[in-house]
Structure 1
């Protein structure tokens, strides 16, 4: 039987994961503080009063900015403070609720990323908006959570002969105990974790962001090409729509409903 082995959220798009023992999910909003903020390129126009979904290329992100993977970040929702570190040393700590704090973060990334930031990046947030990759598809995709099956990761490792850290795939929910690639057949199927119900929205196609090693910040693979060559597709993982309010914890069992799921 499949079980959850790890849970993550990503408060700032493109920055490091936060490992958590449990997550609370809501039908109308998905996972709180996941992709809540983003660092818009200096050339990007984004209006927080009238937010419109934008392709991830308008923001700092791993596909284009591998140096981001060298940083460790931690966000405290209660205080609004973001800490950014590298090699065990805190480089910046700032209150994102204040203009001065946001400016400190922006100045840091302007210097850290260099010309690729296209000027001073802007730390952006908008009420009810998430900077997920799927946001450009629909509101349901914007609020979806992502799942990765460790058996699929191991199948890819076996074909490439390389160790592949699951964090490359930046999932919210990591599960083990399934067959490899089983999750790809869950589109429009209901998934239960305790009292929580979710629906498979779509397989997760992979881009060059997964080629960045989360431990070394080096681009050391070509996993989309390897997926296509060995398995005939570039998908690994699944987007899930939250159908009701609930919580999940590491160790929880996951079951698949034999019937097609309804919509939220």
Structure 2
């Protein structure tokens, strides 16, 4: 049984924008190129860019739903961010932090720790997992959640990297500990992804409008998608085959 790649996404700044791709080349032991390269540490964070730290150290969509409506376009080291309530911002995250902090400030709730600085950990993306991971998401599972809620849902709510279609509902949970070939690459599936409040926000508006967590809990879990580690590099393109080895 095999599926096909339906979407590929990267998120250059963790929780601050998404970008759709048509193909990507993966490297063993690495996150997707251009994915979560940077993260935004808040004023109470201990993150200094020297090592990976948990997501609680960063400004993120679970605490600031307005961030979920950001889209991104990464060209080299230059990033363009767009949001329905803000003018487009084109900047260099390495050298123009202040202009970003001014831009994002209106999107942050007043009762939350303010965004303070952009950090980058050399050699890896700032994934939620303590190892460089790529998230795999199932379109059938997404459609089931939307049907349970009786409303249209954007897949951007889940901030997944590689989406596949043509396989059964929750099939991805059967992959734990197994190897999955996607295009030329092979990934080792390590764990299910436990979801948070970020998924309740509409990616077009940044307003919470769907009880995604309640829908997931109707299946007696709060998980959507799986984290996988690249063990064989190679190119992945839209419509490539996805199959368990």
Normalising TM by the smaller chain, what interval?
A: over 0.9
Indicate if the aligned counterparts of 2:38 and 2:126 stay in contact, CA closer than 8 A: yes
Q: Give yes or no for contact 1:65–1:116 (8 Å, CA) kept in 2.
A: no
The Cα of 1:179 is off from its aligned counterpart by 0.5
- Kindly name which structure, 1 or 2, has the bigger radius of gyration based on alpha carbons: 1
Alignment partners' CA distance in 2, 1:256 and 1:186? 7
Residue 218 of structure 1 and its aligned partner are, at CA, apart by 1.1
Could you tell me whether the CA contact under 8 Å between 1:192 and 1:255 is conserved in 2?
Answer: yes
Q: Paired residue for 2:54?
A: 55
Residue 4 and residue 107 in structure 1: after superposition, are their counterparts in 2 closer, same or farther (change >3 A)? same
Once the two structures are superposed, residues 7-42 of structure 1 have per-residue CA deviations (whole angstroms, 9 ceiling, x without a partner) of 000010001211010011110323122111011102
Unaligned runs of 5+ in 2: none
Query: Where is the helix percentage greater, Structure 1 or Structure 2?
Result: 1
Is residue 2:81 matched to residue 1:84? yes
Count of matched residue pairs: 244
Give the aligned partner of residue 146 of structure 1.
Answer: 135
Deviation at 1:116, TM superposition (A): 4.5
Structural mapping, 1:57-76, within 5 Å: 57-76=56-75
Structure 2 residue 201 is the aligned partner of structure 1 residue 209? no
Relative distance call for 1:162 and 1:21 in structure 2 (3 A) is same
The alignment partner of 1:30 has SS state of: coil
Q: Which residue in the other structure is 2:241 paired with? A: 253
Which residue of the other structure, out of 146, 149, 155, is the alignment partner of 2:144?
155
Moved over 6 A (4+): none
What are the within-5 Å matches in structure 2 for residues 121-136 of structure 1?
A: 121-135=116-130
Which structure 2 residues correspond to residues 144-183 of structure 1 after superposition, within 5 A?
144-183=133-172
Deviating more after overlay: 84-93 vs 153-162: 84-93
Residue 38 of structure 2 is matched in structure 1 by 37
CA RMSD of aligned residues (A): 1.8
Conservation of the 8 A alpha-carbon contact between 1:110 and 1:121: no
Contact 2:188 2:228 in 1 (8 A): yes
Q: CA offset at residue 256 of structure 1?
A: 1.0
* Structure 1: gaps (5+ residues): 258-264
For residue 237 of structure 1, the aligned residue among 207, 216, 225 is 225
State whether residues 134 and 229 of structure 2, in contact with CA within 8 Å, keep that contact through their aligned partners in structure 1. Answer: yes
- Quick check: 85-94 or 208-217, which moved more? 85-94
Paired with 2:90 and 2:112, the residues of 1 have a C-alpha distance of 20
Paired with 1:172 and 1:256, the residues of 2 have a C-alpha distance of 18
Name the counterpart of 1:110.
Answer: 105
Cα offset, 1:114, TM superposition:
5.3
Distance change in 2, residues 1:70/1:192 (3 Å): closer
How many Å separate the matches in 1 of 2:36 and 2:195? 18
